[in-house]
Amino acid sequence: MQHPNLQPNRFVKFFCGSLALLFLFGFVEYGSSSEISKIRPQEENSKIPNYQSRFGRKEPVIAVIGENRMTELTDFMIPYGVLTSSKIAKVIAVFPRTGPVQMFPALKIEAEISFDLFDSEYPDGADYVIVPAVHYSDDPVLLSFVQKQSAKGSTILGICDGVWVLANAGVLKEHKATGHWFSFSKLEKEFPETRWIKDTRYIADRKIVTTTGITASIPVSLALIEAISGREKASEMALSLGAKDWKPTHKSSDFYLSGKDMYIAAKNYLGFWNYENLGVRVSEGIDEVVLALQADSFSRTYRSEVFSVSDQKKIRTKNGLLVRVDKMDAEVASLDFILENLNGIAAVTAYDKILTEIESKYGTDTAAFVALQMEYPWRK
């Protein structure tokens, strides 16, 4: 999601971090639920076009990109983890520069391949470029990379509010697109040359693919696997993730900011004396998809923030991402609670379990508010 003026400290590293204050003082005009709930017919052409080999490649090249200063955790890690696990493509994590990357709303990773290095190794460009939500969606280096990859014939996939990067890069003009429910009205106003579509989890228009909220990254990743390697392979991956299907079916009117949601955000945000620092243990080979879902969701409660914990300063995930550990084992005493280890549990199953644990710790309303931010149809 778009995060204007967001700074990485524990009281503002959340979806729309000033929401509680806005609730109290009313300094912003939100779209009403009646406006947000307008339903447009679901488009039939959400299917991603089948992969066509280019440049004599034996497998497609997929660049999952980000921005060093702040990149949305699940938007980035889920497509990277799912696509790498599928073993149907060369999947590469690419950033403007090498070095540390602050993820939102939790964790840090190490960027090992820069835009310049990628360009030198793949001068013809990627076959697919996956763009997550980032804090600086108008960063000129980021926009230039997307523009150049698009000009080289890459298919560009914007995950959730990664759509802002695509829009700012100018690649959405004269295309159909979708986006996160919270940003939808603003996207329509700022980019009228794009046809904005509701009631679809993801939509493909020629070489542009966009999605709704954060958890749409699983179905769109499966849809991309189907486009590259067929339905049987996508079904195999869906089974491993605990996903029933990857249909684009979605009801946009189920997601809007109600007065109840704003009250929960304000109550949790201002109740800082109840704030908890939570730990999640990480070790070599940890499933980055489940890790991302757990750390992301607990850091969106307005009640807690998640830190990675290990006896090593850096660890490799299941599919090769280098995680920079927040706290060593000796610092565990500074944390209020260590979260359950969910490694090895199918991602969708794990996510339902995560929301149930949030419900147990902080109440049903807080769990529902987290699901709303993630645009996940929990108990709907």
3-state secondary structure of 250: coil
Q: What does the mean pLDDT of the chain come to? A: 90
Q: Answer with the one of 237, 252, 267 that is the final residue of a domain.
A: 252
- Based on the fold, state whether residues 51 and 197 are members of the same structural domain: yes
- Based on the fold, state whether residues 192 and 301 are members of the same structural domain: no
Structural domain includes residue 358: yes
pLDDT higher than 90, residue 46: no
Structural domain includes residue 229: yes
How confident is the model over 51-80, as a mean pLDDT? 97
Q: Concatenated DSSP letters for 262-326? A: HHHHHHHHH-GGG-EEEEEE--TTB-HHHHHHHHHHHTTSSSEEEEEEESSSEEEBTTS-EEE-S
Which tens digit of pLDDT belongs to each residue from 242-272?
A: 999 999 999 999 999 999 999 999 999 999 8
- Based on the fold, state whether residues 239 and 345 are members of the same structural domain: no
Structural domain includes residue 74: yes
Which tens digit of pLDDT belongs to each residue from 309-353?
A: 999 999 999 999 999 999 999 999 999 999 999 999 999 999 999
- Based on the fold, state whether residues 76 and 195 are members of the same structural domain: yes
Cα–Cα dist 130/225, whole Å: 13
Backbone φ, ψ for residue 130 (5° rounding): -105, 125
Give the chain's domain count: 2
Q: Which of 28-32, 195-199, 374-378 has the lowest mean pLDDT?
A: 28-32
Cα–Cα dist 242/260, whole Å: 31
Residue 44: its pLDDT value, please?
Answer: 58
CB of 28 closer than 8 Å to CB of 94: no
Structural domain includes residue 34: no
Q: What is the largest CA-CA distance in the chain?
A: 60
Residue 101: its pLDDT value, please?
Answer: 98
- Based on the fold, state whether residues 126 and 227 are members of the same structural domain: yes
CB of 319 closer than 8 Å to CB of 109: no
Residue 36: its pLDDT value, please?
Answer: 32
Cα–Cα dist 102/20, whole Å: 24
- Based on the fold, state whether residues 160 and 129 are members of the same structural domain: yes
CB of 100 closer than 8 Å to CB of 322: no
- Based on the fold, state whether residues 245 and 280 are members of the same structural domain: no
* Residue 286's CATH number: 3.40.50.880
Q: Answer with the one of 236, 252, 268 that is the final residue of a domain.
A: 252
- Based on the fold, state whether residues 73 and 204 are members of the same structural domain: yes
CB of 2 closer than 8 Å to CB of 164: yes
pTM of the full predicted structure? Answer: 0.90
- Based on the fold, state whether residues 264 and 220 are members of the same structural domain: no
- Based on the fold, state whether residues 306 and 242 are members of the same structural domain: no
195 vs 19 pLDDT, higher one? 195
Which tens digit of pLDDT belongs to each residue from 349-360?
A: 999 999 999 999
Q: Answer with the one of 224, 252, 280 that is the final residue of a domain.
A: 252
Residue 379 pLDDT grade (very low, low, confident, very high; cuts 50, 70, 90): confident
How confident is the model over 219-223, as a mean pLDDT? 98
How confident is the model over 87-96, as a mean pLDDT? 98
- Based on the fold, state whether residues 201 and 65 are members of the same structural domain: yes
How confident is the model over 139-160, as a mean pLDDT? 98
Residue 19: its pLDDT value, please?
Answer: 42
How confident is the model over 218-228, as a mean pLDDT? 98
Domain interval for residue 166: 47-252
pLDDT higher than 90, residue 3: no
Residue 45 pLDDT grade (very low, low, confident, very high; cuts 50, 70, 90): low
Structural domain includes residue 297: yes
pLDDT higher than 50, residue 32: no
Structural domain includes residue 6: no
CB of 221 closer than 8 Å to CB of 78: yes
How confident is the model over 213-219, as a mean pLDDT? 94
Structural domain includes residue 40: no
Which tens digit of pLDDT belongs to each residue from 265-297?
A: 999 999 988 999 999 999 999 999 999 999 999
How confident is the model over 205-226, as a mean pLDDT? 96
- Based on the fold, state whether residues 238 and 269 are members of the same structural domain: no
% of the chain at pLDDT higher than 90: 86
Structural domain includes residue 356: yes
pLDDT higher than 50, residue 9: no
